[in-house]
Amino acid sequence: AAGVIQSPRHLIKEKRETATLKCYPIPRHDTVYWYQQGPGQDPQFLISFYEKMQSDKGSIPDRFSAQQFSDYHSELNMSSLELGDSALYFCASRTGTGLSGANVLTFGAGSRLTVL
Amino acid sequence: AQSVTQPDIHITVSEGASLELRCNYSYGATPYLFWYVQSPGQGLQLLLKYFSGDTLVQGIKGFEAEFKRSQSSFNLRKPSVHWSDAAEYFCAVGAPSGDYKLSFGAGTTVTVRA
């Protein structure tokens, strides 16, 4: 079965540079979530999109922005990178809004960003 | 606000022994409850979920979890651990309506010794 695809899997950047992470949800999933997991930390919700509109926002720095495109893939743009941005960034997708027995978040394998 | 507590940061268990991971949540009502597993360098894989109904939930890889409303707990169990179960386990809660973002516990790292 198709899964959530994230690219790149690994990314190394210098401080103050910019990085873009991409997420391709499961086909027919219209809702995308971004999570950030710092070293030894639990995943923290950043932002979500439903039908190409931002649906919720968590602890996402102002230096970060994200969007969902017409094909439902999403991109997380991070500028003026700081050492503390080094983390594993997860994307997850699901269908629709609200929770039901079938609507469970499926996570991608993550994109590991290292800021030097 | 919802929160999740996993009291055990690290558990070491012998292969073939039983495993129980604790999870307590704080929420105004009964949330939706999940257990995810993360192997080193890998993404989060859903083990099982509880939305309603039978409080004993069966998941993949031989795991089960029991929802206890009176204790606000959702502990994960496996009767006989395999070496491949070594991983980090996250308990998560989600609001039962609308807002779908999950709140995760800090995770429990499971080490399996031969």
Asked whether the beta carbons of B22 and B10 are under 8 A apart, the reply is no
With pLDDT > 70 as the criterion, what percentage of chain B qualifies?
Answer: 95
Q: Which of B44, B45, B102 is facing A45, going by the closest CB pair?
A: B102
With pLDDT > 90 as the criterion, what percentage of chain A qualifies?
Answer: 68
Q: Is A25 on the interface with B (CB under 8 A)?
A: no
Pick the residue from chain B with its C-alpha nearest to A45: B101
Q: What is the pLDDT of residue B94?
A: 84
Chain B residues close to A45, C-beta within 8 Å: 101-103
Asked whether the beta carbons of B6 and B23 are under 8 A apart, the reply is yes
Q: Per the CB < 8 Å rule, is B32 touching A42?
A: no
Distance between A82 CA and the closest CA of chain B, angstroms: 22
Chain A residues close to B94, C-beta within 8 Å: 99
Reading across the β-sheet that carries A19-24, which strands appear in turn? A5-7, A19-24, A74-78, A64-68
**Residues of chain A falling short of pLDDT 70:** 1, 96-103
Tell me the CATH number for domain B3-113. 2.60.40.10
At position B8, the amino acid (one-letter code) is: D
Say whether pLDDT at B56 is over 80: yes
Each residue of A89-104: pLDDT tens digit? 999 998 765 555 556 7
Tell me the CATH number for domain A5-115. 2.60.40.10
Chain B interface, Cβ < 8 Å to A: 32, 34, 36, 41-46, 49, 51, 90, 94-107
Q: In angstroms, rounded to a whole number, what is the distance separating the alpha carbons of residues A71 and B112?
A: 43
Buried b (16+ CB within 10 A) or exposed e, B90-106: bbbbbbeeeebbbbbbb
